[in-house]
Structure 1
Amino acid sequence: AAADPEVGPPDAPGVLFFLLQQRHRVRRNLNLPHDRQDDLADRLENQLVRRAAERQGADSDLLLWPRAEFDRLLAEHPELTDVYGPDWDAHRARLEKELVRLTSAGRTGLGVFRATVAGLDAFAGRRDGDPTDAAIRAGYAVEVSARPSSRVPWPPERNDPCWCGSGLKYKKDCLPRSRS
């Protein structure tokens, strides 16, 4: 069977799915026949389920690597540049944009978890794995997220210190990154 084609812009499936599911529910209650929009609702549901499965492992890539740790991470594992970004500014911008995207998709109670290279390497060592392996990073993210002390709530208020640990106000640091 061919894969379902992508429908609309990246953030659209959730909104379209909601509207189409509501429409489908009303039509079903009125005993109306299944039509093209109902087929579209089915395709969107399949697409959203597939994306949710893909995202389960992607949350590991939302770890916050403080500046010194980020520099050490890329020095020791340069192949992770593709995952976390070529420099700390790109890393923070990618995180901010993903957090904004998750919020616009309806996720609440978001936060980032501070990661360390020593922690990732130790986790990989206990699992006899490679720190650059996506499954190892996902497992490490689960371990880190189990420690509430490493959680940094997101988003901060505009005038609060930025979540990235730069010491600047959020409105002057990472907030503009989500808009660029």
Structure 2
Amino acid sequence: MVEALTEAGRYERALEWCQAGLDRITANDDSPQAAEYRHGLLIDRGFLRGELGIELDEDDLAAEAEANASFAQFREGLRDALSQGPSVDVPEDGEAFDGIVLRWVREDFTAVRARWLESTAHYGDDYDTYAERLQREARAYSEAGAARVRMVSATLAEFEAYTHRQGRDADAAETRRSFGEWYALTGHPERVLLWPPARNGPCWCDSGRKYKKCCGAPTKN
């Protein structure tokens, strides 16, 4: 509700909802999840108070400082990560090209990691880490000049069927790359998405959250 009211420009009403949420959490819940939610509400409250010309209190300022520090730390880490990769295939002749990012669906993540143990560092220890890596890969394609970037969401069963039909080596990284290119042209349209999606649309990673609140959040870009 706070987000909807803020987007509608109803800052005073949004501030009332925000404060009510803070009051409920402070009075009834001291769990780690509640602390994280409280921090988010404090960030929202600080923004709303600033827009309304209301002086920020100590909690607002502390939350803002913590958010700025976390963001700066993340940006520094991201610069380091991008300086080391991910590498993307770019034509040397300057021709227009599409960036294709192959994403294994959440349900298959554990099986995929077990399938290619040598790629564990690429996939990460959990799906959120994997999604962050794919977000960086998509951005790398965009920054390299791709005409468009397509996020291909496929299953391990589809990959195995592809390698069987094509007689390809399922363990070769090149086969996974060619599968992504093939799927981008022939796969289910609803699972071949243009990146980035709309900020208020569903995130490409199937988290169920809006893109701007998930992989498109400022702390991940």
Q: Give the TM bin, normalised by the shorter chain.
A: 0.5 to 0.7
Which has more radius of gyration? Answer: 2
Partner-residue secondary structure (3-state), 1:146: helix
- Equivalences for residues 88-99 of structure 1 within 5 A: 88-99=127-138
1:68 to 82, 107, 120: 107
Q: State whether structure 2 residue 206 is matched by structure 1 residue 178.
A: no
Letter in 2 for 1:178: K
* TM-score, L = length of structure 2: 0.49
Task: Tell me how far apart the structure 2 counterparts of residues 64 and 11 of structure 1 sit (CA, whole Å).
Answer: 19
Task: Tell me how far apart the structure 2 counterparts of residues 129 and 107 of structure 1 sit (CA, whole Å).
Answer: 27
**Residues 161 and 52 from structure 1, CA distance in 2 versus in 1: closer, same or farther, beyond 3 angstroms?**
same
Question: 1:23-66 CA distances to partner (integer Å, 9 max, x unpaired)?
Answer: xxxxxxxxxxxxxxxxxxxxxxxxxxx9646xxxxx67x20112
Letter in 1 for 2:212: K
Letter in 1 for 2:176: R
Task: Tell me how far apart the structure 2 counterparts of residues 67 and 75 of structure 1 sit (CA, whole Å).
Answer: 14
**Shift, 1:174, TM fit:** 0.3
Task: Tell me how far apart the structure 1 counterparts of residues 82 and 111 of structure 2 sit (CA, whole Å).
Answer: 34
* TM-score, L = length of structure 1: 0.59
**Residues 101 and 178 from structure 1, CA distance in 2 versus in 1: closer, same or farther, beyond 3 angstroms?**
farther
**Shift, 1:162, TM fit:** 0.6
**Residues 71 and 97 from structure 1, CA distance in 2 versus in 1: closer, same or farther, beyond 3 angstroms?**
same
- Whether contact under 8 Å (1:131, 1:137) holds in the other structure is yes
1:162 alignment counterpart: 203
Task: Tell me how far apart the structure 1 counterparts of residues 172 and 126 of structure 2 sit (CA, whole Å).
Answer: 20
- Whether contact under 8 Å (1:153, 1:163) holds in the other structure is no
Question: 1:89-121 CA distances to partner (integer Å, 9 max, x unpaired)?
Answer: 121101111212222233232220111101111
Structure 1: where are the runs of 5+ without partners?
A: 1-8, 13-49, 54-58
**Structure with the higher fraction of residues in strand conformation:** 2
- The farther-off stretch of 152-161 and 101-110 is 101-110
- Whether contact under 8 Å (1:63, 1:112) holds in the other structure is yes
Partner-residue secondary structure (3-state), 1:80: helix
- Equivalences for residues 134-173 of structure 1 within 5 A: 134-147=173-186, 149=189, 150-173=191-214
Task: Tell me how far apart the structure 2 counterparts of residues 161 and 91 of structure 1 sit (CA, whole Å).
Answer: 18
Task: Tell me how far apart the structure 2 counterparts of residues 74 and 11 of structure 1 sit (CA, whole Å).
Answer: 23
- The farther-off stretch of 121-130 and 147-156 is 121-130
- Equivalences for residues 94-109 of structure 1 within 5 A: 94-109=133-148
- Whether contact under 8 Å (1:100, 1:178) holds in the other structure is no
- The farther-off stretch of 167-176 and 95-104 is 95-104
**Residues 74 and 105 from structure 1, CA distance in 2 versus in 1: closer, same or farther, beyond 3 angstroms?**
same
